[in-house]
């Protein structure tokens, strides 16, 4: 009895990814958890396991918490607005005026509290956030993520050119404040500091070079956009004529692959860029809702990149994405791949196994042991009650698929981080 005194056993239909091609499904099984970490999965409990430590979820699904690897926290209230605009027009008309409001710390605290609560509501327990350029607001976001217990990356946004006068930084100030943010937050636990240049259009070569030096010196992750839209790439080429492409701008300034590098979109990558992205430090984030809402001119070749061994994850990319639901992103990733297949038939459509892997295990690769239920992984988990949308003649994997297409946050009835249940309001 003493051996299991501090264990918990969670019973249900357990699903997680082993790799992009293999999903593990263990029906009516128990996950044994000790100190917030998975010890094993078994069909029968030891005879001496204490009954009071069993949490029985019956026929419900138990899956890893989702990873949203590209999301703009300040754009939370901007969702679903200006969806008829091209990217650069949308940024100037809606995004920059909205983000400028985060100079007000009270506004930042209000919106970021709502944002993090909605992440949790939608089952996102691991997140990679874009902030605004404001130092105080960025600290507020960092603190709220940490207080709620999420695993996260965030930093202070950088942009010193091609931006409106009310929302732009001086180059040296941007570098100095970024270093200050890193030094103050580098040992903060599960929420980690990152370097966040908006994209090459809004960052001078001097700024990118300075940020690259910081990334190398402090060994912190980099998060930005790359190869996103046809118009964006044309402007980028005009601004940086001495570079072959947008990826080389980041690479030659030590912002691509030297440290963990998370690049959103990556839709239009030629062979040179693909070679750079094969670096195991690099990850491309597919944001299907955003791509279709703010017309980029194409769809990420997800299947091709998976077959090439490039690390891929999913992102909601609000506010050009309309929803923080990564379950929805799983479904739209599959749908978009079918549309692309019509015009590029050499690559098959993405499978449920591949999309779920991107949303959980692959997305979680930069965090510490999250996204699966193998021994030593944190029990960061969701319990899904799909009784309102499933029929008894389908198996748990089919039920998971149906949840991604038809379910919503109301089907997520429990959320756990490190074995502790968290709610959508309040604290632990």
For 293-317, write each residue's pLDDT tens digit. Answer: 987 778 899 999 999 999 999 999 9
Contact 87, 229 (CB under 8 A): yes
Q: What is the mean pLDDT of the chain?
A: 94
Contact 134, 108 (CB under 8 A): yes
pLDDT tier for residue 391 given thresholds of 50, 70 and 90: confident
pLDDT value at 230 more than 90: no
Average pLDDT over residues 34-54: 96
Q: Which of 191, 186, 262 is nearest to 221 (CA)?
A: 262
Contact 190, 137 (CB under 8 A): no
The DSSP secondary-structure symbol of 185 reads H
Q: Which of 297, 261, 301, 298 is nearest to 277 (CA)?
A: 261
For residue 81, what pLDDT is reported?
A: 92
For residue 228, what pLDDT is reported?
A: 81
H or E element in which residue 119 lies: helix 105-121
Which is more confidently placed, 340 or 115?
A: 115
For residue 153, what pLDDT is reported?
A: 97
pLDDT value at 62 more than 50: yes
pLDDT value at 2 more than 80: no
For residue 427, what pLDDT is reported?
A: 37
H or E element in which residue 240 lies: none
> pLDDT above 90 covers what percent of the chain?
86
* Dihedral over Cα of 112, 113, 114, 118: its sign: positive
For residue 85, what pLDDT is reported?
A: 87
Dihedral class, residue 297 (left if φ above 0, else alpha if ψ from -120 to 50, else beta): left
pTM of the model: 0.96
For residue 426, what pLDDT is reported?
A: 42
Average pLDDT over residues 182-205: 93
Q: How far apart are CA 420 and CA 10, in angstroms?
A: 12
Bond prior to 275 in cis (omega within 30° of 0): no
For residue 229, what pLDDT is reported?
A: 79
Contact 226, 264 (CB under 8 A): yes
For residue 425, what pLDDT is reported?
A: 63
> pLDDT above 70 covers what percent of the chain?
99
Beta bridge partners of 191: 152
Q: How far apart are CA 388 and CA 91, in angstroms?
A: 40
With respect to CATH, is domain 66-366 assigned 3.40.1190.20?
no
Average pLDDT over residues 332-359: 95
Residue 165, classed as helix, strand or coil, is coil
* Alpha carbon 390 to chain centroid, angstroms: 28
pLDDT digits (tens, 9 = 90+) for 398-427: 999 999 999 999 999 999 999 999 987 643
Contact 215, 259 (CB under 8 A): yes
pLDDT tier for residue 428 given thresholds of 50, 70 and 90: very low
SS3 sequence of 22-65? EEEEEEEEEEEEECCEEEEEECCCCCCCCHHHEEEEEEEEEEEC
CATH fourth-level superfamily of 2-65+371-421: Urease, subunit C, domain 1 (2.30.40.10)
pLDDT digits (tens, 9 = 90+) for 131-160: 999 999 999 999 999 999 999 999 999 999
**Burial 293-315, CB ≥16 within 10 A → b, else e:** bbbbebbbbbbbbbeeebbbbbb
Please, what is the angle between helix 326-343 and helix 396-406, to 10°?
A: 90
- Can you give the residue ranges of every domain in the chain? 2-65+371-421, 66-366
pLDDT tier for residue 349 given thresholds of 50, 70 and 90: very high
Average pLDDT over residues 257-267: 95
Q: Which of 29, 34, 2, 3 is nearest to 15 (CA)?
A: 29
């Amino acid at each position: 009895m003493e051996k299991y005194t501090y264990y918990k056993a969670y019973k249900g239909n357990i699903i997680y990814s082993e790799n992009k091609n293999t999903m593990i499904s263990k029906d009516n099984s128990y996950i044994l958890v000790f100190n917030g970490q998975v010890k094993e999965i078994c069909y029968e409990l030891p005879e001496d396991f204490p009954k009071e430590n069993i949490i029985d979820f019956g026929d419900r699904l138990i899956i890893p918490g989702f990873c949203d690897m590209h999301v703009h926290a300040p754009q939370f209230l901007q969702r679903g607005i200006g969806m008829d605009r091209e990217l650069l027009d949308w940024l100037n008309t809606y995004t920059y005026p909205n983000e400028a409001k985060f100079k007000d710390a009270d506004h930042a605290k209000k919106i970021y509290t709502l944002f993090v609560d909605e992440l949790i509501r939608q089952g996102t327990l691991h997140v990679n956030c874009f902030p605004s350029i404001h130092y105080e607001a960025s600290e507020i976001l960092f603190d709220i993520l940490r207080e709620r217990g999420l695993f996260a990356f965030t930093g202070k946004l950088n942009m010193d050119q091609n931006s409106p006068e009310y929302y732009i930084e001086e180059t040296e100030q941007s570098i100095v404040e970024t270093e200050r943010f890193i030094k103050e937050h580098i040992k903060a636990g599960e929420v980690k500091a990152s370097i966040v240049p908006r994209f090459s259009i809004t960052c001078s070569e001097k700024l990118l070079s300075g940020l690259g030096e910081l990334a190398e010196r402090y060994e912190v992750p980099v998060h930005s956009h790359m190869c996103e839209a046809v118009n964006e790439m044309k402007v980028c080429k005009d601004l940086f004529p001495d570079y072959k492409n947008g990826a080389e701008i980041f690479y030659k300034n030590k912002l691509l692959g030297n440290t963990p590098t998370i690049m959103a979109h990556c839709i239009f990558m030629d062979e040179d860029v693909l070679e750079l992205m094969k670096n195991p430090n690099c990850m491309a984030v597919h944001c299907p809702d955003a791509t279709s809402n703010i017309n980029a001119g194409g769809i990420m070749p997800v299947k091709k990149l998976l077959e090439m061994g490039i690390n891929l994850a999913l992102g909601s990319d609000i506010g050009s994405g309309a929803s923080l639901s990564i379950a929805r992103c799983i479904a739209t990733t599959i749908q978009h791949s079918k549309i692309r297949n019509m015009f590029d038939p050499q690559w098959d459509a993405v499978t449920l196994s591949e999309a779920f892997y991107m949303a959980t295990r692959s997305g979680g690769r930069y965090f510490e042991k999250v996204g699966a239920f193998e021994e030593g992984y944190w029990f960061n988990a969701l319990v899904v009650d799909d009784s309102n949308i499933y029929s008894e003649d389908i198996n748990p994997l089919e039920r998971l698929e149906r949840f991604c297409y038809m379910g919503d946050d109301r089907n997520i009835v429990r959320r756990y981080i490190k074995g502790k249940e968290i709610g959508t309001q309040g604290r632990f």
